[in-house]
């Protein structure tokens, strides 16, 4: 069966339901699945748990799902660029489960690899460790973190062949591979779909076995924070 779909809306058909968990690739606004996020908004699905490094910005990226109050809970590392996120959290409208960044990436990777949990020193002695199993290894204390398996993964790559073998572009690789791995179903959007066999196998960042549905999208690629300096004069 072909993995290629005409657009994000058709790729989402039959996959969404209220209360679902979605793992989303991206870091800030870099490498985010813009088309699928918009299509998710249009489905009207609600009470979503989103597993993602952050929640975009006001009015863009995952932030548009905050505007429509479709997100119930965020499992995240960084939330500092979204005023609506802050407002909903402080008002009690939004649940947050904070994770250290490396722990979050490994929880997704572990879920995709069939690993139920792992021990890490990160977070020991902080609120992150509260309620979690502690165990000593070689005289040091570790905490148990659970692998994440999401109902759906939504990710963005630079290019892929028709079977979903994918290449990411520089830092846009970020959380996309582990997010793709941990989804029971993965939708990947790309800038270019190329014929199967045209990509060098040694350059593949994510094997197509993790990708179930594939679309070619158009992307705004908005810059989260533009920082410039004045031109120096002699």
Number of domains in the chain: 1
pTM greater than the 0.85 cutoff: yes
Going by pLDDT thresholds of 50, 70 and 90, the confidence category of residue 233 is confident
What's the whole-number average pLDDT of the chain?
95
Going by pLDDT thresholds of 50, 70 and 90, the confidence category of residue 141 is very high
Asked if pLDDT for residue 179 goes beyond 90, the answer is yes
Q: Is residue 132 part of a domain?
A: yes
Query: CA-based angle 141:145:168, to the nearest 5?
Result: 120
CATH number at residue 50: 3.40.1080.10
Going by pLDDT thresholds of 50, 70 and 90, the confidence category of residue 232 is confident
Q: Is residue 167 part of a domain?
A: yes
pLDDT at 79: 80
**CA distances, 150 to each of 54, 128, 196, 209 (Å):** 16, 21, 28, 16
pLDDT above 70 coverage of the chain, percent: 100
Query: CA-based angle 48:58:98, to the nearest 5?
Result: 50
Q: Is residue 227 part of a domain?
A: no
Q: Is residue 223 part of a domain?
A: no
Judge contact between 179 and 24, C-beta under 8 A: yes
Structural domain boundaries, residue 170? 8-216
The pLDDT of 207-213, averaged and rounded, is 97
Q: Is residue 16 part of a domain?
A: yes
Asked if pLDDT for residue 234 goes beyond 70, the answer is no
Q: Tell the residue number behind the tokens 């975009």, with chain if given.
A: 56
Q: Is residue 226 part of a domain?
A: no
Of 117, 122, 191, 179, which Cα lies nearest the Cα of 153?
179
Q: Is residue 224 part of a domain?
A: no
The pLDDT of 54-82, averaged and rounded, is 93
Q: Is residue 230 part of a domain?
A: no
């Amino acid at each position: 069966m072909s993995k290629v779909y005409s657009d994000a809306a058709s790729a989402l058909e039959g996959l969404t339901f209220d209360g679902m968990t979605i793992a989303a690739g991206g870091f800030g606004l870099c490498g985010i699945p813009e088309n699928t996020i918009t299509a998710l908004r249009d489905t009207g699905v609600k009470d979503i748990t989103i597993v993602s490094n952050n929640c975009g910005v006001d009015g863009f990226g995952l932030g548009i799902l905050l505007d429509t109050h479709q997100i119930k809970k965020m499992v995240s590392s960084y939330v500092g660029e979204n005023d609506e996120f802050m407002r909903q959290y402080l008002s009690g409208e939004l649940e947050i489960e904070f994770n250290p960044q490396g722990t979050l990436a490994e929880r997704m990777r572990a879920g995709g690899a069939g690993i139920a949990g792992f021990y890490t020193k990160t977070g020991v002695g902080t609120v992150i460790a509260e309620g979690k199993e502690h165990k000593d290894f070689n005289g040091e204390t570790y905490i148990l973190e659970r692998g994440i398996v999401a109902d759906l993964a939504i990710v963005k790559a630079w290019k892929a062949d028709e079977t979903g073998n994918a290449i990411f572009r520089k830092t846009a690789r970020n959380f996309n591979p582990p997010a793709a791995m941990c989804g029971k179903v993965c939708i990947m959007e790309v800038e270019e779909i190329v014929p199967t066999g045209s990509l060098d196998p040694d350059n593949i960042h994510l094997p197509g076995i993790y990708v179930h549905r594939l679309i070619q999208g158009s992307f705004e690629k908005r810059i989260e924070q533009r920082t410039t300096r004045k031109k120096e004069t002699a």
